[in-house]
Amino acid sequence: MEPTEFPRIFRHGRDLYTENATPGVRVYGEDLLKESGTEYRRWDPFRSKLAAYLLKGGPSSLFERVRSVLYLGGSHGTTVSHLSDLLPGAPIFVIEKSPLSFAPLLELSRRRENLLPILADAQLPERYAADVGTVDLLYQDVAQRAQARIFGENANACLNPSGRGLLMLKVRSISQSRTARSVVAEARRELAASGLSIGPEVDLAPFSRDHLAVPVTG
């Protein structure tokens, strides 16, 4: 197991791993690997867009000095569980609107103290902003038509002005007919209108088709 630039992310061959905060427990059937008494979980880039982003060159400095996270679209907690591994001291507020997905997320949070799931619609940040407070990292993966607007509104409600964000943009949820370039250009305009600075987007192929990761700063 080789260390990477971020202390709690590791590499083994081509794969990324995080140190398992709940040894012996798998979250989504991922491989576990034990070395020198420490257990690591393989971070599958085909299941987690955040792992894909890092493998495609996204900087792990994204996690530096992060004391709290707002995660929109937690689903069953695949990516959330790895964030939980790598930010042990940081509360991670996870918004999920589907009760079916929320149940396993809630179960996961019973074993992982830094996970704070909230059953809510990310289109209504006013419903949870007071509980969440100000966060250093905003992450969104909701595959909705209004993805950029949702991100901007949550950033305005909860993101520290010196914080960072990552929007996993699903092009085909926004338009089936327009080119990816025009969809991304429009999303960038919407994010800029929310007062965010936008970095170069990263295409997540071949791990995740039709998805681009758009990094922003507050």
The nearest distance, CB 50 to ligand SAM, in angstroms, is 7
Q: Closer to ligand SAM at the Cβ: 75 or 109?
A: 75
Count of residues in contact with ligand SAM, rule CB under 6 A: 19
Reduced DSSP (H G I as helix, E B as strand, rest coil) percent helix, strand, coil of the chain, to 5 = 30, 30, 40
User: Residue 23, preceding bond cis, omega within 30 degrees?
Assistant: no
Options 27, 69, 83, 95; binder of ligand SAM; rule CB under 6 A: 95
Location of structure tokens 């940040």: 125
Binding mask 33-62 for ligand SAM (x = CB under 6 A): ---------------xx-------------
Tell me whether residue 91 is exposed, middle or buried, using C-beta atoms within 10 angstroms of its C-beta: 0 to 12, 13 to 18, 19 or more: middle
Is there binding between residue 140 and ligand SAM (CB under 6 A)?
A: no
Is there binding between residue 85 and ligand SAM (CB under 6 A)?
A: no
Which residue minimizes CB distance to ligand SAM?
73
Q: Within its chain, how far is the Cα of 48 from the centroid? A: 8
Residues 144-173 that bind ligand SAM (CB under 6 A): 144
Q: Closer to ligand SAM at the Cβ: 122 or 138?
A: 122
**End-to-end Cα distance, the chain:** 34
Phi and psi at 23, nearest 5°, equal -50, 140
Cα 16 to Cα 4: distance, rounded to the nearest angstrom: 9
Options 30, 44, 85, 96; binder of ligand SAM; rule CB under 6 A: 96
Cα 207 to Cα 218: distance, rounded to the nearest angstrom: 28
* Residues in contact with ligand SAM by the rule CB under 6 A: 48-49, 72-73, 75, 78-79, 95-98, 101, 121-123, 141-144
